[in-house]
Amino acid sequence: MVYDTIVQALVVVPSGEPLFSEQATKIAIDDEGAGRFVVVSQERADGTAQAIHLDAAEWPTVCEAINRMMAMCRAEKKEVA
């Protein structure tokens, strides 16, 4: 039998913060039987989690929209400074 090793999750957290930090963002691959998708989540101090689920087909458009909004935030921050 052949086995694969799959990296299932990455966690983005500020340096020095623990994995359970409210600032930790988990990016994971999930599969509920209809094919793999990515889940981006954060867990709050009260234990509730917030997540978005993205499939590969929608990612380019979502990524473009996020980059556009981030650019607008950076531009606004420069105007205030």
Q: 37: domain CATH number?
A: 3.10.450
Over residues 42-75, the pLDDT tens digits come to 998 888 989 999 999 999 999 999 999 999 998 8
Residue 2 located in a structural domain: no
Name the pTM for this structure. Answer: 0.79
Residue 52 located in a structural domain: yes
Counting the structural domains of the chain, the total is 1
Distance in angstroms between the alpha carbons of the first and the last residue of the chain: 60
Residue 20 located in a structural domain: yes
Residue 1 located in a structural domain: no
Give the structural domain span for 18. Answer: 9-80
| Residue owning tokens 């590969």 | 56
| Two tokens, residue 16 | 């020095």
